[in-house]
Structure 1
Amino acid sequence: MAVKIGIVGMNGIGNLHAACYKEDELADLVAVCDVVKERADTAAAKYGVKAYYSLKDMIESEPDIEVIDVTTGGIDNGSWHFEPAMEAIGYGKHVLVEKPLCHDIREARELVAFAEKKKVYLGCNLNHYFTPPAEKGKQYIENGEIGELVYCLAKMGFNGGEANYGPAGSGKVKGHPYFHMKAFLTHPLSVMRYFCGDITHIQTFSDRPGFRRNAGDVMASINSIHLKFANGGVGYLLSQRGDAVYGLGGWWSLEMAGSKGTFCIENCVEKISYWKAAKGIPAISVQPEPEVTDYGTNDFNRTFNHRLHAFLEDVSNRVPFEELRANGRDALAVLEYTFAVIESYERGGEMVRPHPLPPLHGDPLFLK
């Protein structure tokens, strides 16, 4: 049976989620909500559902709704997530939240704890690893074709350069030095954690180019981040917000190298290449031919369909809470990393250990 859904926040992302649900056989979009009446009414007419202007009214008028999808934005794209998510959980509804999980790390910790207390599913739209290339990469890992992690290199951001720059006009961005870190780092950090495991040490060097400085732009838009994983591997993440034109690999590339093989994903959804370690490979100059799986697409928006469908599958199948894919704890982990990045930057590049995650308790209904 299809899962009944209500969406709160009908700007761009909310409409993108709604369009995905209308295509999905597991979804039954019942209602939409926005404090801006025009946005709610327009979306309701477009998708053939009821419009509401407060979350309370939507939930109490539509008691059969099972999932509240929080697609509100706010400062740093996340300051309007906590309140509606907490309200929905208080009603006993399952919740999916856009990234980042919250704008404030203390709110994020409280949100995850509240969902666990109320025994509801809390998921986050960590959509960058809900792709065929990521699935193939995971298979390489699980089949033992990567071996022991040596390093992980990620480059994710935006193409741009000085000629394309324009100062931000929105109060959600303007004057907020950590907009790029909070609004975007969730994605590359979640992908790196998905493949390589928990991160234990972070060191950051961040800055902004002269053309931003001259415009009075305070955003720390260039992020150079060194990482150490719990399994002993090391990592590096480069992310920038349109300060340069990207070269090889495009706007999104990730390379995971191990003792038995290496894979590289390009442009998130496009293709994955795999190089197998073998005796006799020259140390330099000559590279063996990789196994390349090209998926013939660069349509990034399909990641939303894949991720939302996975959430609905997990809710429909009543999976154990801790087995929910891209769950609240996963989203909290990468937000803890983001705040460690900020702390390292504020300390002039000192190494920082992220705040520990809450302990796993296990659900007695599932854990044998």
Structure 2
Amino acid sequence: MAVKIGLVGLNGIGNLHAACYQEEELADLVAVCDVVKERADATAEKYGVKAYYSLKDMIENEPDIEVVDITTGGIDNGSWHFEPAMEAIGYGKHVLVEKPLCHDIREARELVAFAEKQRVYLGCNLNHFFTEPAEKAKQYVDNGDIGELVYCMAKMGFNGGVDNYGLAGSPKVKGHPYFHMKAFLTHPFSVIRHFCGDITHIQTFSDRPGFRRSAGDVMVSINSIHMKFANGGVGYLLSQRGDAAYGLGGWWSLEMAGSKGTFCIENCVEKVSYWKAEKGIPAISQQPEPVVTDFGTTDFNRTFNNRLHAFLEDVSNRVPLDQLRANGRDALAVLEYTFAVIESYESGGELVRPHPLPPLHGDPLFMK
């Protein structure tokens, strides 16, 4: 049976979610909500659902809603997530929140704790590993084809350079030094953690190029982040916001190397290559060709369909709360890493240990 959904926030990405729900057999979009009446009315008319202008009115007038999907934005793309998420959870509704989970780390911790207390699903749209290349790469990991983690290298950013630059005028971006960190690092950190596990140490060297400084732009847009994982492996993440042209691997690449093999995903949705670590590997100039799986995909927006389907599938199957894919705790983890990056930057590149995650208590309805 389809899950009844109320969608909150219709400025851009909310309409993308609405379009995905129209293709999804597990979804039944019954109402939309936005404080800007024109937005709510336009989406409601397009999809033949009821429009509301406050979350309270939507929930109280549509009691059959099971999931509230929150796609509001705000400062750093996340300052309008906390209040509607807390309100929906207070009504006992399951919640899916766009990334980042929250704008403020203290709010994020409170939100995750409240969802656990209310025993509802809290998910976040960490959609970058809901792809065919990531699924294939995870098979390499789970089948033992990677072995013990040695290193992880990730590069994610935007195509750009000085000739493409323009000072952002939006109040959610302009004047906020950590917009790129808070709005974007959630994605690479979530993918890295998906494959490599928890991060225990972080150090960053971050800055902004001269053309941003000359324009009075305060955004810390270049991030060179070093990581150590709980399993002993090490990692590196390079992220930039349109300060340079793409290089090898495109806008999104992830290389995970282990004692038995290495994989590399290029351009997120496109392809994954695998190199097996065999005895007698030849010299550098004779490096064997990898096994390449090219999925022929270029439409990144399909990751939204994949992720929303996974969330609704988990809700429909009533999986244990802590087994919800890309759940609130996962989103909190990557936000803790982001705030560790900010702390390291503010302390001149010092080593930082991210704030520990809340303990897992286990779901009493499933654990025996």
1:146 counterpart residue number: 146
**1:125-177, Cα deviation, whole Å (9 max, x unpaired):** 00000001111111000100000000000000100111010001000000000
Q: 1:346 offset after TM fit, Å?
A: 0.2
Task: For residue 112 of structure 1, give the secondary structure of its aligned residue in structure 2.
Answer: helix
**1:176 and 1:46 mapped to 2: Cα distance?**
35
**1:58-78, Cα deviation, whole Å (9 max, x unpaired):** 000000000000000000000
Task: For residue 364 of structure 1, give the secondary structure of its aligned residue in structure 2.
Answer: coil
Q: RMSD value over aligned CA atoms?
A: 0.5
2:88 counterpart residue number: 88
2:288 counterpart residue number: 288
1:237 counterpart residue number: 237
Task: For residue 337 of structure 2, give the secondary structure of its aligned residue in structure 1.
Answer: helix
Correspondence list, 1:257-296, <5 A: 257-296=257-296
**2:288 and 2:255 mapped to 1: Cα distance?**
16
Partner letter of residue 281 of structure 1?
A: I
1:37 counterpart residue number: 37
Task: For residue 284 of structure 2, give the secondary structure of its aligned residue in structure 1.
Answer: coil
2:256 counterpart residue number: 256
Q: What's the TM-score once normalised by structure 1's chain length?
A: 1.00
2:165 counterpart residue number: 165
**1:234 and 1:286 mapped to 2: Cα distance?**
27
**1:33-78, Cα deviation, whole Å (9 max, x unpaired):** 0000000001101111110000000000000000000000000000
2:334 counterpart residue number: 334
Task: For residue 69 of structure 1, give the secondary structure of its aligned residue in structure 2.
Answer: strand
1:194 counterpart residue number: 194
Aligned: 1:64 with 2:44: no
1:228 counterpart residue number: 228
**2:96 and 2:128 mapped to 1: Cα distance?**
16
Task: For residue 223 of structure 1, give the secondary structure of its aligned residue in structure 2.
Answer: strand
**2:267 and 2:281 mapped to 1: Cα distance?**
28
Task: For residue 307 of structure 2, give the secondary structure of its aligned residue in structure 1.
Answer: helix
Partner letter of residue 202 of structure 2?
A: I
Partner letter of residue 99 of structure 1?
A: K
**2:342 and 2:47 mapped to 1: Cα distance?**
40
**1:123 and 1:345 mapped to 2: Cα distance?**
29
**1:274 and 1:363 mapped to 2: Cα distance?**
37
2:320 counterpart residue number: 320
2:18 counterpart residue number: 18
Task: For residue 293 of structure 1, give the secondary structure of its aligned residue in structure 2.
Answer: strand
Task: For residue 111 of structure 2, give the secondary structure of its aligned residue in structure 1.
Answer: helix
**1:273 and 1:63 mapped to 2: Cα distance?**
48
Partner letter of residue 182 of structure 1?
A: K
**1:285 and 1:57 mapped to 2: Cα distance?**
67
**2:243 and 2:151 mapped to 1: Cα distance?**
26
Runs (5+) with no aligned partner, structure 2: none
Partner letter of residue 315 of structure 2?
A: V
Q: What's the TM-score once normalised by structure 2's chain length?
A: 1.00
Task: For residue 205 of structure 1, give the secondary structure of its aligned residue in structure 2.
Answer: strand
**1:18 and 1:340 mapped to 2: Cα distance?**
34
Correspondence list, 1:123-142, <5 A: 123-142=123-142
**How many percent of aligned residue pairs carry the same amino acid?**
88
1:51 counterpart residue number: 51
Q: 1:283 offset after TM fit, Å?
A: 4.7
Partner letter of residue 204 of structure 1?
A: T
2:119 counterpart residue number: 119
**1:327 and 1:283 mapped to 2: Cα distance?**
44
**1:338 and 1:288 mapped to 2: Cα distance?**
37
Task: For residue 241 of structure 1, give the secondary structure of its aligned residue in structure 2.
Answer: strand
**2:187 and 2:362 mapped to 1: Cα distance?**
27
Q: 1:246 offset after TM fit, Å?
A: 1.1
Q: 1:282 offset after TM fit, Å?
A: 2.5
Task: For residue 158 of structure 1, give the secondary structure of its aligned residue in structure 2.
Answer: strand
Runs (5+) with no aligned partner, structure 1: none
**2:159 and 2:166 mapped to 1: Cα distance?**
14
**1:317 and 1:5 mapped to 2: Cα distance?**
16
Task: For residue 239 of structure 2, give the secondary structure of its aligned residue in structure 1.
Answer: strand
